[in-house]
Chain A
């Protein structure tokens, strides 16, 4: 249909055009750094670091790695926290969607999505840590009144040896992400009809949804679920704040080795990074096997034909889980806001003994400076990502250069390879080629992570655009360029701005790429906040974490507001 309408451009014309090259360029921007970084991790892992006078191959780095007594536990923690966080998040999202989609509580959750998503992981983790610690806010609110505690009980909750608190912190942040993805997938399945039919056959709402809609939805959300698994297994900032430290999860230990003054430890770090990559691959295989098992059991369950007697209980529990996840993040933010204005706040007072502007005056200047750096990097990276994405999608539209289902996985690749596995290598490489340290390499590194999210968020609305509009415009004499600039992009203003906001939020939250590639010279709100976390000054952490959240949240608000203002006289616009 499309090909029939748009005659393929002549060879000469295609050569002149830049557009058809964009998809390749985009893939290069995303995968180039990953591949290069992995290669430069692989070499030192086998003892090859010529710059340091070490030539391989040798397996000494792996011997040293396996000599580390904490390794079994650290590797186990990586696996367990990753699998638990992913499974629990997916379970909550699935059951909440199954039991409640289309209802009022669900709409409340939907409305909370953007703010929840834009809270950076580190800020959410700080908030949660202070919320649930034995001397935390929840304990303070009921002490000593209900509990009789004048002093906090000596309980290992935050940084618990099993990493459960860390997994809970990850769940609180991954539930909104998976919910967003699920909502997008729901739009492409006629879920309502299926559930209606199931309900007419006597199935409960939840059971009916699970039996008819879930298999279709899961097929679509599978890549992001894998991303959540890979991310949760190898996250560093959340693990530093909430995870155990005797020993820490493998990813944290790799960062420690990377920063050891003894050069030989870099080789161990590289070996550890490869092990981390192997663990992630292993966990993905395990998850895939789990999928088959669930599918097998699910088929039998469907065939058994039970109508869902426990729907109410299950749906209620799931909603509780979802609400708890949302509340943990929101209460955490609230408590950070209180800390940023707090005077001295000792246990067991439910509120500080005084409020002051002092913290903001002390840290405001530094935080504003970091905000400037954060905003600059995020704006450049997100703009580049949006332009490349539009270019790719337009090339796909005009020349039919469509990504196949298989190549869609390429989009997820930068998100599936653990950051800790390739960023150290990338740092070594950048140093080797003498690339100037500073913002530009950091922006390039951010682009690796910003691009996939922007692409995923813009692709569907862009493809869903009604092609007949283009036909009408060309019938009126507009060339492809004019159709793009005067019809298509204005109509898609809102999804484009949303994708832009997603890109900004992703960039604002980046910790490891900024730290490792920026060589310490690039100080963003996130790197400053995590550095402060090592100091434990909650007043300062409150100021930085609030600024960080604002930097990610305000673009989302603008993405909603701007189209409404620009198109206030075009109410009929579908996306306006």
Chain B
């Protein structure tokens, strides 16, 4: 049976359009000229949208590539779309050419063979990427293997309004105690929102004495025991939350709006520079600052991936490569623009490029790399999926 399947696969005629070879960069850029890339990326943050628009202008100038930002409310929408196209036999020119992706969505797409690649490590700018110091070759413990290209580093920080909460809180238990003393002044985005599940993961990682168990997939045997401290923590925390946990903000930025409205004093963020950028954009009061937990906080990379059925793979690779360029990375790190961490290795850069990074003002509410402290690993995606489902059963349908 197995041999038959292999034979059938071999006999199947090759698709009409052969996949490009990422290592032949001249051919890639030649093909890319005139192509349009539909980049599906979450569209809820206006600073990110502006950055993507700028990327579009730059790749149009340099490579003649047109970049269209398809603004998603949920990255899973894009995954569904590619899946639906595969079922419908749309294998040559799908609606999506590039996705801002990581974690469970990447794991699902890679598992289902929905991605083009490997391509990332053949891109010219990969030479600058810091493969030693940054987690760019695994994504939530799943090996990347060149199926997505990193473009930003993220780490959990907590944004606090110093007008109401002056001092940083060092642990999840400290947050709980503070929330009990100040009921109604804290909340987190509603899981399965990305940032909401991040809060749950961060809580679990911080509450466990030894979080290394989270590096392996969750099993039916160990899941209940390992997550028990998290549910006990939430049992105490939830009644003290904003609106007593009967409503949650839909997303991270919606949660920031609550700080601006004076409704809450503390919020989680996955971008150390977000608070500074939000102050500059009049979205947060100038009194907010950020902190990390004593034991450290979770960090990961944001990637772009190319669906297997994109009709503009060359142009998508050009965009992915441009995102890893020192020019784009320094702009992304600029807290007045985006404030995302870079994926590049400072030692690999030219003196001029390195100076550009060093000359960046970090911004009033951004912690320095040293202050950001220990970066904790993401748990295996299976933990997040199960925790998000359980959360929905316990708190998502509470009333």
What is A's interface to B at a CB cutoff of 8 Å?
49, 51-52, 68-70, 73, 133-135, 150-152, 154-156, 158-161, 240, 244-247, 258-263, 266, 342-348, 356, 358, 362-363, 365-366, 427-428, 431-432, 434, 437, 519-521, 523, 527-528, 530-540
Q: Is residue B175 contacting chain A, with contact meaning CB distance below 8 A?
A: no
| Contact across chains for A537 and B253 when beta carbons are under 8 A apart | yes
Number of A-B contacts (CB under 8 A): 183
* Secondary structure type dominating chain B contacts: mixed
| Contact across chains for A535 and B81 when beta carbons are under 8 A apart | no
Chain A residues positioned under 8 Å from B247 (CB to CB): 156, 158-161, 244-246
Residue in A134, A520, A540 whose CB lies within 8 Å of B81: A520
| Contact across chains for A536 and B105 when beta carbons are under 8 A apart | no
Q: Is residue B222 contacting chain A, with contact meaning CB distance below 8 A?
A: no
| Contact across chains for B395 and A51 when beta carbons are under 8 A apart | no
**Which residue of chain A has the shortest Cβ distance to B396 in the bound complex?**
A246
A49 to B38, CA, bound (A): 28
Q: List 20 A-B contacts (CB under 8 A).
A: A73-B399, A154-B184, A154-B263, A246-B396, A261-B79, A261-B108, A346-B260, A346-B261, A431-B90, A520-B38, A520-B72, A520-B77, A531-B43, A532-B43, A532-B44, A534-B73, A536-B254, A537-B45, A539-B46, A539-B281
A259 to B74, CA, bound (A): 8
Question: Given A431-B84, A519-B95, A531-B44 in contact, is the A344-B72 Cβ separation under 8 Å?
Answer: no
The 6 closest A-B pairs by CB, nearest first: A535-B44, A51-B87, A70-B397, A536-B254, A347-B262, A154-B184
| Contact across chains for A133 and B261 when beta carbons are under 8 A apart | yes
Q: Is residue B174 contacting chain A, with contact meaning CB distance below 8 A?
A: no
A342 to B243, CA, bound (A): 27
| Contact across chains for B397 and A536 when beta carbons are under 8 A apart | no
| Contact across chains for B45 and A535 when beta carbons are under 8 A apart | yes
The residue in B74, B105, B242 that gathers the most chain A C-beta atoms within 10 A of its C-beta is B74
Q: Which residues of chain B from 236 to 257 have any CB-CB distance to chain A below 8 Å in the complex?
A: 242-251, 253-257
Q: Is residue B33 contacting chain A, with contact meaning CB distance below 8 A?
A: no
Chain A residues positioned under 8 Å from B44 (CB to CB): 531-532, 534-537
Chain B residues positioned under 8 Å from A532 (CB to CB): 43-44, 46
| Contact across chains for B396 and A247 when beta carbons are under 8 A apart | yes
Residue in A156, A346, A431, A432 whose CB lies within 8 Å of B246: A156
A56 shortest CB reach to chain B, Å: 15
Complex interface bits, B256-278 against A, C-beta within 8 A gives 1, otherwise 0:
11001111000000000000000
Q: Which residues of chain B from 73 to 130 have any CB-CB distance to chain A below 8 Å in the complex?
A: 73-74, 76-81, 83-85, 87-90, 95-96, 104-105, 108-109
**Which residue of chain A has the shortest Cβ distance to B164 in the bound complex?**
A151
Question: Given A156-B243, A161-B246, A245-B247 in contact, is the A535-B46 Cβ separation under 8 Å?
Answer: yes
B39 shortest CB reach to chain A, Å: 11
Residue in A159, A240, A344, A434 whose CB lies within 8 Å of B89: A434
Chain B residues positioned under 8 Å from A358 (CB to CB): 282
| Contact across chains for A536 and B396 when beta carbons are under 8 A apart | no
Chain B residues positioned under 8 Å from A348 (CB to CB): 262
Chain B residues positioned under 8 Å from A52 (CB to CB): 87
Chain A residues positioned under 8 Å from B104 (CB to CB): 261
Question: Given A523-B70, A535-B253, A537-B45 in contact, is the A70-B85 Cβ separation under 8 Å?
Answer: no
Q: Is residue B35 contacting chain A, with contact meaning CB distance below 8 A?
A: no
**Which residue of chain A has the shortest Cβ distance to B49 in the bound complex?**
A366
Contacts A73-B399, A152-B262, A534-B251 known; 15 new A-B pairs at CB < 8 A: A156-B243, A156-B244, A246-B398, A261-B76, A261-B79, A261-B80, A262-B108, A342-B282, A344-B285, A347-B262, A431-B84, A520-B70, A520-B72, A536-B249, A537-B44
| Contact across chains for B76 and A260 when beta carbons are under 8 A apart | yes
Q: Is residue B376 contacting chain A, with contact meaning CB distance below 8 A?
A: no
Q: Is residue B358 contacting chain A, with contact meaning CB distance below 8 A?
A: no
**Which residue of chain A has the shortest Cβ distance to B265 in the bound complex?**
A151
Chain A residues positioned under 8 Å from B21 (CB to CB): none
| Contact across chains for B71 and A521 when beta carbons are under 8 A apart | no
| Contact across chains for A246 and B80 when beta carbons are under 8 A apart | no
Question: Given A161-B246, A540-B46 in contact, is the A531-B261 Cβ separation under 8 Å?
Answer: no
Chain A residues positioned under 8 Å from B96 (CB to CB): 520
Chain B residues positioned under 8 Å from A69 (CB to CB): 393, 397
| Contact across chains for B250 and A536 when beta carbons are under 8 A apart | yes
**Which residue of chain A has the shortest Cβ distance to B38 in the bound complex?**
A521
Q: Is residue B190 contacting chain A, with contact meaning CB distance below 8 A?
A: yes
B73 shortest CB reach to chain A, Å: 5
Chain B residues positioned under 8 Å from A133 (CB to CB): 261
A248 to B84, CA, bound (A): 25
A58 to B71, CA, bound (A): 36
A520 shortest CB reach to chain B, Å: 5
Residue in B105, B246, B250, B397 whose CB lies within 8 Å of A261: B105
Question: Given A135-B263, A520-B72, A531-B71 in contact, is the A362-B50 Cβ separation under 8 Å?
Answer: yes
A345 to B108, CA, bound (A): 41
A263 to B86, CA, bound (A): 12
Chain A residues positioned under 8 Å from B109 (CB to CB): 261
